[in-house]
């Protein structure tokens, strides 16, 4: 219970900071939009092929946007030695981790809520009735992205060239999430149902559970060393 | 003092000897493959390389766990050294596979599940080495390395599953199969050549590991001497 209370408090702090500074969310959203534009220039596709490529393009846009967000995730803690102060306060390190995961998750979901429809408009894709199912797959993938991403964002806090290092570590480890989410969304788009995508969804849930647990247990060492 | 220990030297000699014997068996004693001809002989190096690479990644995992648990420098040195050698053997595996793939499949590279898995393993452990190089604080580098070592290892089954569902083209394992004992699937002299090479590669691995650990220990020693001098 104490853990939940602390997590909510810490999450509230991050949300409040974000509302007042509006640093991450706005830039993440526009970055997502820019990536969509670039994709459109790179792969000028005939309309009938859009549905095939949509899951990959969408999800890559989220992964790039999310990586941008991860780079900023501990920015507030880096300034004025706030991290030391936070570590001095009697909060559970697990709560610290969960709050950051939740915060990053909320940011990404907000961006996705805008980018999904924007994609449909920009690429002329008629997928409006499938949007909720697609979004569900994306949520599972986003959780996987956040649980590992938060851990490694904290890890690269004091590394040289951290902006380079983070995706370099993260992307290979993230391959199950990237593959499963893209294939899952692709199946949903093609068949309109979940049945065939179930193995991929189970893989995503497995990934989320394993690394949420691992991150929760390991975070203490990463943040304190 | 830092001096090559006797055991390490014996290990090195044994590794060299068994590699020579292994090469003799692989290139001369074993018959050419019925379908693939002489190209198949690269498998005598390919399979031992990948198995040795797996061994080193397992040792990275064990060393990482031990380090996080007990915080002893030597476990970290073990993990770091094994990771470097693991990158070497994974790289070798990919190169050998390409050389074999070109005449057999007609391409240097194909996005088959096992190839992809090996390439991802290579990338993960390269990123492990880069991570360690980019964190200046030694203790922090060791902790972060250990965490990556553990997470990477936990990730392997998931990566494995996902790339297998995604794509399967590679010929199924022909020697370790569930339906038949290993010696029924392969000509005895081929199995002998393969086994000798496997032993040779594992000996080579432990020789390299002992040398690499010695190097780290020497570095530590130099650091302590410098500190003593400074005070």
State how far the Cα of B21 lies from the Cα of B7, in Å rounded to an integer.
21
Residue-wise pLDDT tens digits, A92-126? 889 999 999 999 999 999 999 999 899 888 888 88
Strand partners, B37: B33
ipTM of model: 0.87
Which 3-state string (H, E, C) describes chain A?
CHHHHHHHHHHHHHHHHHHHHCCHHHHHHHHHHHHHHHHHHHCCCCHHHHHHHHHHHHHHHHHHHHHHHHHHCCHHHHHHHHHHHHHHCCCCHHHHHHHHHHHHHHHHHHHHHHHHHHHHHHCCCCCHHHHHHHHHHHHHHHHHHHHHHHHHHHHCCCCCCHHHHHHHHHHHHCHHHHHHHHHHHHHHHHHCCCHHHHHHHHHHHHHHHHHHHHHHHHHHHHHHC
Q: Is B124 on the interface with A (CB under 8 A)?
A: yes
Partners of A225 on chain B (C-beta within 8 Å) are: 137, 139-140, 143-144
Q: Do A203 and B162 touch (CB under 8 A)?
A: yes
The residue-averaged pLDDT of B120-128 equals 93
| Min Cα separation B103/chain A (Å) | 29
So what's the pLDDT on residue B203? 93
Q: Is A94 on the interface with B (CB under 8 A)?
A: no
What is the domain partition of chain B in residue ranges? 9-29+42-170+188-220
State how far the Cα of A159 lies from the Cα of B175, in Å rounded to an integer.
45
So what's the pLDDT on residue A91? 87
Q: Is B168 on the interface with A (CB under 8 A)?
A: no
Partners of B134 on chain A (C-beta within 8 Å) are: 159-162, 165
Q: Which residue has the tokens 């690394």?
A: A211
Mutation to test the A interface, candidates B125, B135, B138, B141, most A Cβ within 10 Å: B135
> Is it the case that residue B90 has pLDDT exceeding 70?
yes
> Is it the case that residue B29 has pLDDT exceeding 50?
yes
Q: Is A192 on the interface with B (CB under 8 A)?
A: no
Q: Which domain covers residue A60, as residue numbers?
A: 2-224
So what's the pLDDT on residue B178? 55
Q: DSSP assignment of B199-212, as one string?
A: HHHHHHHHHHHHHH
| Min Cα separation A19/chain B (Å) | 32
So what's the pLDDT on residue A53? 84
A-B CB pairs within 8 A amount to: 82
pTM given for the model: 0.86
| Closest by Cα among B165, B187, B160, B217 to B40 | B187
State how far the Cα of A169 lies from the Cα of B125, in Å rounded to an integer.
9
Q: DSSP assignment of chain B, as one string?
A: -----HHHHHHHHHHHHHHHHHHHIIIIISPPBTTTBGGGGGHHHHHHHHHHHHHHHHHHHHHHHHHHHH--HHHHHHHHHHHHHHHHHHHHHHHHHHHHHHHHHSSS----HHHHHHHHHHHHHHHHHHHHHH--SHHHHHHHHHHHHHHHHHHHHHHHHHHHHH---SPPPSSS-SSS-GGGSS-HHHHHHHHHHHHHHHHHHHHHHHHHHHHHHHHHHHHHHHHHHH-
State how far the Cα of B44 lies from the Cα of A203, in Å rounded to an integer.
35
| Min Cα separation A21/chain B (Å) | 30
| Closest by Cα among B141, B188, B62 to A160 | B141
Average pLDDT taken over every residue of chain A = 89
What is the total count of domains within chain A?
1
Residue-wise pLDDT tens digits, B173-194? 555 555 555 556 677 778 888 8
Partners of A216 on chain B (C-beta within 8 Å) are: none
**In chain A, which residues have pLDDT < 70?**
none
So what's the pLDDT on residue B1? 40
Q: In the structure, what pLDDT confidence band is assigned to residue B167 with cuts at 50, 70 and 90?
A: confident
Q: Do B163 and A203 touch (CB under 8 A)?
A: no
So what's the pLDDT on residue B3? 55
Residues sharing a CB contact under 8 Å with residue B127, sequence separation 6 or more, in sequence order: A168, A169, A172, B148
Residue-wise pLDDT tens digits, B140-152? 999 999 999 999 9
């Amino acid at each position: 219970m104490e853990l939940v209370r602390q997590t909510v408090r810490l999450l509230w702090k991050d949300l409040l900071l974000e509302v007042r500074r509006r640093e991450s969310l706005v830039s993440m959203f526009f970055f997502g939009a820019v990536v969509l534009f670039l994709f459109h220039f790179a792969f000028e596709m005939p309309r009938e092929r859009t549905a095939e490529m949509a899951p990959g393009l969408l999800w890559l846009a989220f992964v790039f946007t999310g990586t941008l967000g991860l780079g900023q995730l501990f920015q507030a803690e880096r300034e004025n030695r706030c991290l030391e102060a936070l570590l001095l306060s009697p909060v559970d390190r697990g709560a610290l981790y969960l709050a950051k995961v939740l915060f990053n998750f909320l940011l990404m979901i907000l961006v996705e809520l805008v980018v999904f429809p924007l994609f449909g408009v920009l690429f002329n894709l008629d997928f409006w009735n499938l949007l909720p199912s697609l979004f569900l797959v994306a949520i599972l993938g986003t959780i996987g992205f956040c649980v590992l991403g938060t851990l490694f964002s904290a890890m690269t806090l004091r590394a040289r060239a951290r902006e380079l290092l983070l995706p370099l570590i993260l992307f290979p480890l993230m391959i199950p999430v990237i593959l499963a989410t893209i294939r899952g969304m692709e199946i949903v788009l093609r068949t309109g149902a979940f049945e065939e995508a179930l193995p991929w969804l189970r893989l995503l849930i497995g990934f989320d559970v394993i690394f949420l647990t691992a991150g929760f247990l390991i975070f203490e060492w990463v943040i304190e060393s | 003092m830092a001096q090559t220990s006797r055991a390490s030297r014996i290990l090195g000699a044994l590794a060299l000897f068994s590699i020579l014997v292994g090469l003799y068996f692989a290139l001369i004693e074993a018959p050419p493959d019925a379908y693939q001809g002489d190209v198949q002989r690269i498998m005598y190096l390919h399979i031992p390389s990948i198995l040795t690479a797996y061994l080193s990644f397992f040792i990275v995992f064990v060393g990482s766990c031990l380090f996080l648990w007990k915080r002893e420098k030597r476990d970290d040195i073990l993990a770091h050294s094994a990771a470097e050698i693991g990158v070497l053997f994974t790289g070798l595996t990919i190169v050998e596979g390409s050389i074999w793939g070109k005449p057999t499949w007609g391409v240097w590279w194909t996005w088959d599940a096992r190839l992809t898995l090996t390439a991802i393993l290579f990338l993960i452990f390269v990123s492990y080495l880069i991570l360690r190089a980019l964190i200046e604080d030694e203790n922090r580098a060791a902790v972060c390395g250990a965490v990556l070592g553990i997470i990477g290892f936990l990730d392997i089954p998931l990566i494995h599953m996902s790339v297998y569902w995604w794509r399967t083209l590679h010929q199924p394992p022909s020697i370790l199969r569930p339906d038949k004992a290993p010696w029924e699937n392969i000509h005895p002299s081929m199995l002998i050549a393969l086994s000798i090479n496997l032993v040779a590669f594992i000996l080579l691995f432990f020789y390299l590991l002992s040398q690499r650990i010695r190097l780290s220990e020497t570095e530590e020693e130099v650091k302590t001497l410098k500190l003593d001098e400074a005070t």
